[in-house]
Structure 1
Amino acid sequence: MNKYKETIYQALRLIFGALVLAALLAYADYRWMEPNRTPPCDPSKLSEGHICLTTVLKQWGYSKIVWIDARNQDAFERGTVKNGQVLSIRNDEKAADLLAKALPVLHQAGIDDKCIVVFCDRSCNAASEIAEMLKGFQLQAPIYILEGGWDEIRKNPSLAS
């Protein structure tokens, strides 16, 4: 009889330990991992001028997108879009030079029936600033801000480098 009691207590300790471990893992996921996840993109909930990655790829395809990477230089050098035409335009000391090099390509995008997609990462607001600046140049190509930015691009292995 004592053997059965001991076995039951041991099983209860294991179950309790597993529950405590599961609770700790759930808390860690909620506390540290959840803020780093991007929610699924819902086109019906987007602000004017924003677009989901799946939507832009479906409508335009890789070859008809001119990507504007608005992240800082360090982030750009660590990796960017590998499919399609990529330009770096950001608000820093080189902004005027980068924009001067990019404008002919962006004007050509409208002629070639392409779209312009501006993205940043979750820690910057540069995508909307750059998109507004580009709209001031009366480009013929539609200009979108990628919802989820670099985080969404990174999830697509055929797109991120």
Structure 2
Amino acid sequence: MKAALLIIGLIVSLPVHAEIYKYVDESGQVTYTNLPRRGAKRLNLEPAETTAAPARKKEASTPANFPRVDSNTQRKRDDLRRSVLQDELLTEERNLAEATAAQKAGEALRSGEQAGSASWRARTDKLRDIVKRHEDNIRALKKELASIK
């Protein structure tokens, strides 16, 4: 079994060779094909030379003349950003609590309404979307806060 796989592997790995023909029709259209046809000329193509790609210089991610910020200034900017994000996080957490309470109240059936009715479903879907949006915002804010050095 191993010998058969080895033989198949060797056969498959042999270089493929195909003859290439160039055919020009009456209207001047040039066609290259591996199928011989009347009036086509066989092309003798030498194997393409392969060379390694030249090594690329690693370019700086920012231009050399780009203004630099000293570490003290950057630390102040990061602190301010952290403070703003924490304030937004507190606001979103408050909004989530309110939206969750509104969702629970909105899921209660109103007089003459049936669970699963179109109006009930529309109301609860809207409230569920609002809760989800606040949860997504909280996740994003926590991710941003974690990325600040």
With normalisation by structure 1, the TM-score equals 0.26
**Structure (1/2) with the larger strand percentage:** 1
Answer with 1 or 2: which has the greater Rg: 2
With normalisation by structure 2, the TM-score equals 0.27
